[in-house]
Amino acid sequence: MTDPVQVIQPGAGYGYALSQEQRHRVMRNTYWLLALSLIPTVLGAWLGVATGITRSLHGGLGLIVFLGGAFGLMFAVERTKNSAAGVPVLLGFTFFMGLMLSRLIAAVLGFKNGPELIMTAFGGTAGVFFVMASLSTVVKRDLSGLGQWLFVGVIVLLIGSVINIFVGSTAGMLAISVAAIAIFSVYMLYDLKRIVDGGETNYISATLALYLDLFNVFQSLLALLGIFGGQND
C-alpha cells in the first residue's frame, strides 16, 4: 500500500503580473494536461495489477522505491518544465505513480465489491476537485499564508506514514488517511487559487501540484473505503 506523498509546491507565493487572458490560458492548459495525465496513471495501475510487478514492494523497500522514484521524477519535471521535454517527463511521472498505486488497487480488487469501491473513490475525488475549483473562483481572500501551514502538515503526515509502515496500525492508517484527505483537499484549493490569481505562470508546474493533490485524496479515500466497505467473498 502506498503512502501519501509529499507535495513540492512549485511557487513561492501569489503574484498578479499576468493578464486575465494569460491566467485563463494557464488554467486551460493545466486542465487539459491534468486530464491527459490520467491516461498514463491508469496504464501504470493496470500494468501493476496485471503483472504484479509491485507486489514485492512493501515495508521499507516499497517506501524507498516510492519516495526515490517520486522525488526524482518530480525534480526532473521541475527541471524540464520550460522545455519540450516537460510534458513527456510529467506523463512519465504519472505513469510511475499509477504503477505505485497498483498495490492498493489490487488489494481493493480482492474484495467482492472492489470495482464499486474504486469508482466511488474516483467519484469522491472528482467531487472534491469540483468543490475546490468552484471555491477558487469565488473566494476573494489571499490564501498564500496557508502554504506554510499546509507544508508543515504534509511533513507531519509523511513522518506519521513512515512510522505506521513499520507499526502496521489500522487505527494509524485511518487517522493518516483522514488527515491526508483534509490536508490535500485544502492544498487543492490553495493550488487552484494560485492559478486563478496569476501566482502560477507555468502550466506544467500547476499540473504537477494539482495531480499530487488528486492522487493523495484518491488513494486515501480508496484506503478508507477498503477498510470500512470492503466485502469479502
Q: Coil, strand or helix: which one is 134?
A: helix
Write down the pLDDT at residue 214: 97
Task: Convert the pLDDT of each residue in 180-189 to its tens digit.
Answer: 999 999 999 9
Task: Please state the length of the chain.
Answer: 233
pLDDT for position 233: 65
Whole-number Å distance between alpha carbons of 101 and 218: 10
Higher pLDDT, 22 or 74: 74
Domain ranges of the chain: 20-229
Interacting residues of 216 by C-beta distance below 8 A, sequence separation 6+: 4, 5, 7, 180, 184
212 or 53: which carries more pLDDT confidence?
Answer: 212
Reply yes or no on whether the pLDDT at 38 is more than 80.
Answer: yes
Alpha carbon of residue 40 to chain centroid: 14
pTM for the full model? 0.88
Q: How far apart are CA 224 and CA 220, in angstroms?
A: 6
Euclidean distance between CA atoms 16 and 100, whole angstroms:
37
Provide the pLDDT for residue 13: 40
pLDDT-derived band at 46, boundaries 50, 70, 90:
very high
The set of cell numbers assigned to 51 is 503483472
Q: Which residue has the cell 514492494?
A: 57
E strands in the chain:
none
For residue 45, how many other CB atoms are within 10 A of its CB?
A: 23
**78-95 tens-digit pLDDT:** 999 999 999 999 999 999
The torsion region of residue 198 among left (phi > 0), alpha (psi -120 to 50) and beta comes to: left
* 9-13, 40-44, 66-70, range with the lowest pLDDT: 9-13
Which residue carries 488517511 as its cell? Answer: 177
Q: What percentage of the chain exceeds 90 in pLDDT?
A: 59
Per-residue pLDDT tens for 11-35? 334 445 567 788 889 999 999 999 9
> Residue 77 contacts by C-beta under 8 Å, 6 or more apart in sequence?
86, 89, 90, 93, 204, 205, 208
